[in-house]
Amino acid sequence: MAKNKKKKKDPRVQLVSLYKKYVTTSGELPHSIKDLMRFGDLDFKDFKKHFKNLEELEAAIVLWYFQCADDILQGDKEAKSWDQKDRHAAFLYLLVEQASPDELFLSEFVAEKRKSPSFMKSFAMTLNAQSFKSLDHHGKSAEMLSSIGLNPKKTALTNHALSVLWFYTFDSSADKQDTDAFIEKTSDLLFRLTDTSTLTSMFDLGKFMISRKNTAFSWS
């Protein structure tokens, strides 16, 4: 009988774990790749095989929480029958659940990174470029603007999820009750704002303008 082969650990995940350990051990973020590699007793080339720079690794750390939450929700057969608002709320709770074991790390990480507008801007762009199925939006507005590569509601859902994760890191309430309240109240507000007839009318106007792009609208 053939022995089951052990699944090889993804070296990128190992580097993510090393970064977290560095922060929770030293109480600060690594200032360079050299600092991180020295801490893990690794060669510089071990890092460069998988990440271009330290910022790319840092982005990958946060994206990992999103990926895990997305995988879990997509694997839930019951969730497929839920409406989008309920699926989105479930994704947010799963996102927080994935991040909770790293609460100490995240509090230090987010506190430092919020001081860097360039990182926040770069990460927001990276996050919005992802294709997490749980944050996809297929509807009238998406169809209208798909020809120019825009999906405003997907962007709103994605940025909302990021705001929840950031809020969670600073939530000092008992059992993170404020995070639960934040998820419920902001989700309700988000879907009210993005499902109004006024917004639909704006998308109708956008579709008209796009159809006349040769004379009235151009991205070039």
| Inside any domain, residue 50 | no
Mean pLDDT of 73-94: 94
Instruction: Note whether residue 131 is domain-resident.
Output: yes
Does the residue 218 lie in any domain? no
Is 10 contained in some domain?
A: no
Q: Sign of torsion, CA 119 23 63 153?
A: negative
Q: Please state the pTM of the whole predicted model.
A: 0.79
pLDDT at 192: 81
pLDDT band (50, 70, 90) for residue 24: very high
In a domain, 26, yes or no: no
In a domain, 199, yes or no: yes
Distance, CA of 185 to chain centre: 20
Domain extent for 111: 83-211
pLDDT of residue 139: 56
In a domain? residue 31: no
For residues 204 and 108, the model is more confident at 108
Q: How far apart are CA 60 and CA 12, in angstroms?
A: 9
For the chain, the domain total comes to 1
Span 133-174, pLDDT tens digits? 998 866 555 455 454 455 678 888 999 999 999 999 999 999
